[in-house]
Amino acid sequence: MFEAAELGREISKSDYKAQLPDLRAEILQTQFALSKSNRPVIILISGVDVAGRGDVVNALNEWLDTRGVETFSFEKTSDEESERPDYWRYWRSLPARGRIGVFFGAWYVEPIRNYAYDKIDAACMDDSLGQIRRLEKLMVDDGTIIIKFWLHLSHKEQVKRLKKMEKDPNALRRVSKRDWKHVKLYDRFSAAAERAIRSTDTGDSPWLLVESTDPYYRDLTVGRTVLETIRKQLELDAINDSDNSSDNASKELTTSTQTSNLDTTDSSPKAALTVLDHVDLNQKLEPKEYRKQLKIYQGKLNRLVWAANAKKRSTVIVFEGWDAGGKGGSLRRMTQAMDARLYQVISTAAPTDEEQAHHYLWRFWRQIPRAGHFTIYDRSWYGRVLVERVEGYAKEHEWTRSFLEINNFEESLVNHGTLLLKFWIHISPEEQLRRFEEREKIAYKRHKLTEEDWRNREKWDAYKIAVNDMVARTSTNYAPWTLVAGNDKKFARIQVIKTVCKRMEAILYS
Amino acid sequence: MFEAAELGREISKSDYKAQLPDLRAEILQTQFALSKSNRPVIILISGVDVAGRGDVVNALNEWLDTRGVETFSFEKTSDEESERPDYWRYWRSLPARGRIGVFFGAWYVEPIRNYAYDKIDAACMDDSLGQIRRLEKLMVDDGTIIIKFWLHLSHKEQVKRLKKMEKDPNALRRVSKRDWKHVKLYDRFSAAAERAIRSTDTGDSPWLLVESTDPYYRDLTVGRTVLETIRKQLELDAINDSDNSSDNASKELTTSTQTSNLDTTDSSPKAALTVLDHVDLNQKLEPKEYRKQLKIYQGKLNRLVWAANAKKRSTVIVFEGWDAGGKGGSLRRMTQAMDARLYQVISTAAPTDEEQAHHYLWRFWRQIPRAGHFTIYDRSWYGRVLVERVEGYAKEHEWTRSFLEINNFEESLVNHGTLLLKFWIHISPEEQLRRFEEREKIAYKRHKLTEEDWRNREKWDAYKIAVNDMVARTSTNYAPWTLVAGNDKKFARIQVIKTVCKRMEAILYS
């Protein structure tokens, strides 16, 4: 999950300074509109230690009109508070309609910390998260806009900051023993945070992962997200209101405010980085080495497949990737090594009538393998958050809630004991073009290239963002994504089959 | 909870026969409209043993066009099923859009049975219920209409039926040892069912408790509910569609079908019984006996209040009831016995500006007592499902989701260790009239009678239904409602104070 927030996104100081005045003006304008509305706003700032939660809150307080904001840090529980039910302290702090509450961590702090400290088990953690979902649902149902930020730092960056703070006599806060203890528990905290985020990342109150190494990027991203989330909701409300009153004048007003001068981040290319930009596409395998490794891993896979069958462990493998990325080739190199009775390949194309008449996950549930068997999906349920999102086949509220639905679905597979592997085969747009042109030339490959492929190609950037969100929200510790470097087909094929062998070995002989 | 389904509701055979033809015609007509829509329907039939789940399913199959219905009983798990994740068997059975799936028990059977058998603990049960909520939400989000019935029989009636079946050589099914085992576990099954119903009784997929002693009443209630739920949803869809297309012709069509000839159950008064009809209003106390008991219980209460304070247990008491029912009098007889430093009485009137600007539960969260203290609410959060429902201040989707919100709220009080007591003071409409007239005559009481009281009185029947729903959905084993017989004020006062003493004793000395 957090790999999507370790991409080196940054904004230069001069860009930051250039963008700030507009942002601030628009934030104030939107806050004024909010104050006339009947919606409370909760901005929840969570994240790893020393990621700058306090700095972000300070920035927000500087940018917002303080008369409409309150900040709550929920430090130690007072006796007043401990004598009441757990959530009493949060209820008393909820902002009124038209006002903004900025919350430090709030209801996420204790479950994450206690789980990382091993003070509570998974069941108890999930119980707390269930309570959180109910609380947030109750607030959203009542009109509250909830904006949840997770400020992320890599382990390395965290250590670097603490060391720098220790050396700096003027640092604003002292480094404590607890800080170093937390650094040691980095992986445990990560796992706890992932669990919390995954199970509370609902369509109504989604999480936003913010890469926090560069403070300019961090603060600007938070500010812009706050602005856009509130503005979008108020605009929707205005449209609904004007629909109800059928008042054309106000309708026009709404649409005119939708054109904003803040949508462009193009000025700073580094801020638009995605997880795909970190795949090293130069990786290659020489033909000889390829043939050697293929032989080794196909043999290994064959043995593992029979072992899994004997142990009645089933496996689900998902292939996603760019058109002409080489999904089929990688898939075949695997199935060559498998007994035909043990696997089934599902090529996911446009849904049938019957499939269309059911929930989008239904067609995939149907194909779940029996004990000891394999189902390999050539494209999958991730179509919901890729093609359906980019092409607008699914509405925004539909695909945003899919992340949680997909995580729940995959969790039930894994809980049943199924091994789940997910591959995104990545290639560069140049390599894709080369392959398209090649297909056009070679007669027996020509059928593989359609008009649609050319159309999809034009939406490369939109797909990149969709892939990034997909990885950020569905790469879980029990079902991580593997991003495969696909420019060299041979390298990609070995990466896939090797990964499958490794994960199977780990699950069968642990 | 189940007290609302032990009221002796029945319909005569002749009434049943008279109503059936219209109902069947309308069901078929609605099913036809459904088949053209994009909504799947799930009818879930659960309930206690021998309540007639099979008979209800048979009736539905007779009434519906079988070409659009499928029935699933989910008996023993097949090997096909046990080799896949838990919910696979349900996913493969989900109805397509426009079709109806009738499910026996389905995902509720195992959690309830295992909890009743003591095979799983509360945490594990709640985990299963959380999964169920997510599954149902996913389906509702996708457009599914879920109608969940719980067919209830009292313990006595269950035993009676089993004995009759044992004697009848022509009974359609044999009584087994397991049946008698379940009878012995009646209370455990009740508790399990209550827990399941309470935590899955969402606004989107609510439960319907059906009193099942009389088969005519049972079948007609199920049939009518199915009809009305589907019809209402299709009508809403039509209105939304015509709003979007701004097509006036279709709009008119929609409203014209809304007048139905099936709304009247007036023909059978016994079917309109509510929990309030079972309160024996003839109960009285002689003045001498009243004074004696008052003295005893006030003394007892005083000692208990100090004991609770010493043990740091806090208490919340809720008073609801008809206008002029005597809430204030009962309340004062209690507080007379309490130290003024230890309790706070909150008279809930129209919300203040500040309260209006928050979630409706916010104003009540504020007043939650500190450890060892008391908060007594003279009217409470139940206004949401009483006055706000009846007067239309809250929209239907708002007050229907409140039941779950209220149960969650009360659960967090009780989990914190707070004792929660809820009283509805019941009087007859005749007694109310007598008291209103008395108030008009006596100068110092006149201020207590307002125009609003007279208006509320006209809505007596609507309030009765609201109270019945409230008790059915929020009388939980951890926070049961006490329905107080209030025609005799003396009797009511003693019933209240005695109940408080009993519950406090149980919680303090257990």
Mean pLDDT, rounded, of chain A? 87
Position A174 scores a pLDDT of: 80
pLDDT in tens, A74-122: 878 888 788 888 888 898 889 988 999 999 989 999 999 999 999 999 8
Nearest CA in chain B to A361: B91
Mutate to test the interface with A, among B87, B200, B356, B412 (most CBs of A within 10 A): B412
Pair (B185, B319) in one structural domain: no
Q: Which of B252, B268, B284 is the last residue of a domain?
A: B268
Q: pTM of the predicted model, to two decimals? A: 0.76
Q: In this model, does residue B91 exceed pLDDT 60?
A: yes
Chain A positions in Cβ-Cβ contact with residue B107 (cut-off 8 Å): none
Position B166 scores a pLDDT of: 86
Q: Are B371 and A83 an interchain contact pair (Cβ–Cβ within 8 Å)?
A: yes
Domain ranges, residue B502: 276-508
C-alpha dist (Å) from residue B283 to B279, B427, B436 = 9, 11, 21
Position B33 scores a pLDDT of: 94
Position B355 scores a pLDDT of: 84
Of A6-15, A164-173, A429-438, the one with minimum mean pLDDT is A164-173
Beta strands B41-47 and B145-152, pairing class: parallel
Q: Which of A224, A252, A271 is the last residue of a domain?
A: A271
Distance from CA of B96 to the nearest CA of A (A): 5
Position A259 scores a pLDDT of: 31
Beta strands B69-72 and B100-104, pairing class: parallel
pLDDT in tens, B187-203: 999 999 999 998 898 87
Place of tokens 């509360």: B122
Spatial CA neighbour of B100 closest among B75, B134, B63: B63
Mean pLDDT of A412-434: 93
Pair (B357, B373) in one structural domain: yes
Nearest by CB to B412, which of A87, A360, A371?
Answer: A87
Pair (B262, B312) in one structural domain: no
Spatial CA neighbour of B60 closest among B205, B172, B260, B226: B226
Domain tally, chain B: 2
Q: Where are the beta strands (DSSP E) in A153-244?
A: 207-211
Q: In this model, does residue B253 exceed pLDDT 60?
A: no
Three-state DSSP class for B295?
helix
- Which H or E element spans position B421? strand B419-426
Pair (A116, A239) in one structural domain: yes
Spatial CA neighbour of B233 closest among B464, B366, B41: B41
Nearest by CB to A85, which of B40, B97, B368?
Answer: B368
Of A484-488, B126-130, B298-302, B378-382, the one with minimum mean pLDDT is B126-130
Position A270 scores a pLDDT of: 56
pLDDT in tens, B291-323: 999 999 999 999 999 999 999 999 999 999 999
Q: pLDDT category, A134, cuts 50, 70, 90?
A: confident
Pair (B168, B263) in one structural domain: yes
pLDDT in tens, A199-211: 898 878 889 999 9
Pair (B16, B37) in one structural domain: yes
Mean pLDDT of B234-252: 64
Pair (A324, A187) in one structural domain: no
Position A385 scores a pLDDT of: 95
Distance from CA of A389 to the nearest CA of B (A): 16
Position B152 scores a pLDDT of: 93
Nearest by CB to B139, which of A83, A359, A371?
Answer: A359
Nearest by CB to A134, which of B141, B354, B408?
Answer: B408
Pair (B125, B246) in one structural domain: yes
ipTM rounded to 2 decimals: 0.71
**Cβ proximity of B208 and B225 under 8 Å:** yes
Chain B positions in Cβ-Cβ contact with residue A131 (cut-off 8 Å): 412
Token readout for B450 is 């307002």
Pair (A142, A75) in one structural domain: yes
Pair (A293, A328) in one structural domain: yes
Mean pLDDT of B119-130: 89
The CA R_g of chain B, rounded to the nearest whole Å, is: 25
Distance from CA of B227 to the nearest CA of A (A): 22
* DSSP tag of A221: H
The domain that contains B311 carries what CATH number? 3.40.50.300
Conformational region of residue B359, where left means phi above 0, alpha means psi within -120 to 50, and beta covers everything else: beta
Q: Which of A271, A294, A318 is the last residue of a domain?
A: A271
How many whole angstroms separate alpha carbon B336 and alpha carbon A456?
78
pLDDT in tens, B164-189: 888 887 776 788 888 899 999 999 99
Q: pLDDT category, B382, cuts 50, 70, 90?
A: very high
**What percent of chain A stands above pLDDT 70?**
94
Q: In this model, does residue B385 exceed pLDDT 90?
A: yes
pLDDT in tens, A237-282: 888 877 665 444 333 333 333 333 333 344 455 556 788 888 889 8
Three-state DSSP class for B29?
helix
Pair (A194, A301) in one structural domain: no
Residues 6+ positions from B176 with CB-CB distance below 8 Å: none
Nearest CA in chain A to B88: A365
Mean pLDDT of B398-422: 91
Q: In this model, does residue B261 exceed pLDDT 70?
A: no
Nearest by CB to A86, which of B92, B361, B412?
Answer: B412
**Cβ proximity of A18 and A262 under 8 Å:** no
Place of tokens 């099914």: B173
Pair (A193, A244) in one structural domain: yes
Distance from CA of B83 to the nearest CA of A (A): 5
Beta strands B374-378 and A145-152, pairing class: unpaired
